[in-house]
Amino acid sequence: MRTEDQVKRKLNELMMQHKNLRVTIAEENATAHPQLQRLEDMIALLEWVLHAPSGSYHNS
């Protein structure tokens, strides 16, 4: 299991990669770029991990 600091470092690394990739590709191609989409998905997952809701996911 990763520590909170490790998750934060990885999140910052991915955000920098995302920012750099956005700069290098043309704006019209940004929305359809698969690597950019993958980075956004990974960033969203790590943000969720950092701000995970309390309690069980399966409780209704």
Segment 31-46 mean pLDDT: 89
Residue boundaries of the structural domains of the chain: 2-51
Indicate the pLDDT class of residue 45, thresholds 50, 70 and 90.
very high
How far apart are alpha carbons 22 and 36 in whole angstroms?
Answer: 8
Closest alpha carbon to 39 in 12, 4, 5, 2: 12
Comparing 42 with 25, the larger pLDDT belongs to 42
User: Which tokens go with 28?
Assistant: 């019209």
Indicate the pLDDT class of residue 14, thresholds 50, 70 and 90.
very high
How far apart are alpha carbons 46 and 32 in whole angstroms?
Answer: 22
User: Which tokens go with 5?
Assistant: 């600091």
